[in-house]
Structure 1
Amino acid sequence: MGKQKEIFIAFFRSGMLGFGGGPSTIPLVHKEVVETYKMMTDEEFSDVLSIGNTLPGPIATKMAGYIGYRVGGWLGLVNALIATVLPTVLLMILLLASLNQIREFDFVKGMTNGVVPIVGVMLAVLTWDFLKKSQKSLGWVKGAIILVASGVSMILFHIHPGIVIAVLLLLALFLPFKKEEDGAK
């Protein structure tokens, strides 16, 4: 039962503090499941995140469902999903009742404007961590090529990120990636 409690706490915290939707919860889920409760490794988390991004629907619930199932079986899956969704449901019920009364206040506008850069920094830190880890398996050159090619595909050619991730997953399946030799760095 201790594992179920850890699952609930990890995903409830992420759901409660992840203001702004799925992208803002990803670093929080990472902190809880990798660092705090050690439910999985960084590499396993990045695999879950990659696969979750290729599937339709909210990333937070997909990750919660998979991680909960992996750690605690079917009960863990339900537990993690409830813990992820419960803060949002409770806050929606409480806040929607008073939204019309407070939405024009400057502090409310300031809060929503202040969240955007915070989420950006959190995602940048997580991206940097993944880039450092990719150096171990791919090397800096291949990692940088994949990063630039992905960015160009999404920004210049407007290719959906899910398609880019799916193509990269297929490449990883069929192309042998070996770490660069120390002299080639």
Structure 2
Amino acid sequence: MLLLELFWVFFRIGAFSFGGGYAMIPFLYHELVTTHAWLSHHEMTDVITVSQMTPGPVAINAATLVGYRLAGVLGSAIATGAVILPATLILLVVARYFWARYQAEGVQAVFRGIRPVAVALVASAAVTLAVGAVVDWITAVLLVAAGLASFYRVHPVVAIVACGLVGVLVYG
């Protein structure tokens, strides 16, 4: 039963998340932490962190990690397949008609309407994760430093390694 539920949860996440992997974070959080209580807030933050650090799309990495944690290798395969299945099916249908009508005003209007939603979902995910990640003044400083590093276009690996080293020095 868990495998079927895992499939259905990740299929819905894949079907109703627009704007890429980061836009899926609020849906992931709602389903995995709030609705099903499969993960704690801190576990979810760790899943997102590891998903960002590993190569590949965040949503697929998160599905793989959560599926493995809940149901082993089979759970990992099911969650990963489920999260990409909706996009695959939609893309097959849309690709057939999309390029011929891409410049049409109606199609462009849909994209203009969806873009702000994608940005808002990413911002919501950032705030949700930031609230749980800041546990003391040091993590608050690291959050601000990482934000500034991102703003000034410091390579993400440099920011991750630097913050990780500070974490080891302070908390290790």
Length-normalised TM-score, structure 2? 0.89
**Structure 1 letter corresponding to 2:159:** V
Amino acid in the other structure paired with 1:153: A
Cα distance in 1 for partners of 2:95, 2:74 equals 31
Task: Tell me the residue number matched to 2:169.
Answer: 174
Shift in Å at residue 131 of structure 1?
A: 2.9
Unaligned runs of 5+ in 2: none
Q: Which residue of 2 aligns with 1:86?
A: 85
The SS at the match of 2:94 is helix
Partner in structure 2 of residue 161 of structure 1: 156
Q: Distance in 1 between matches of 2:167 and 2:74?
A: 32
Gaps of 5+ in 1: 178-185
Aligned length: 172
| Number of the residue aligned with 1:183 | none
| In structure 2, distance between residues paired with 1:109 and 1:162 | 35
Aligned residue in 1 for 2:39: 40
Distance 1:14 1:162, change over 3 A: farther
Change beyond 3 A, Cα 1:61–1:134? closer
Instruction: Supply the distance in 2 between the matched residues of 1:102 and 1:134 (Cα, whole angstroms).
Output: 44
Identity over aligned pairs, percent: 27
RMSD after superposition: 1.9
TM-score (norm 1): 0.84
Where does residue 142 of structure 2 map in the other structure? 146
What is the aligned partner in structure 1 of residue 14 from structure 2? 15
Q: Residue 19 of structure 2 contacts residue 119 of structure 2 at CA under 8 Å; is this kept in 1?
A: no
Deviation at 1:53, TM superposition (A): 0.8
CA distance in 2, matches of 1:59, 1:160: 17
Partner of 1:131: 130
The 8 Å contact of residues 50 and 165 in structure 1, kept in 2 or not, is answered as no
Residues 45 and 132 in structure 2, CA contact (< 8 A), matched pair in contact too:
no
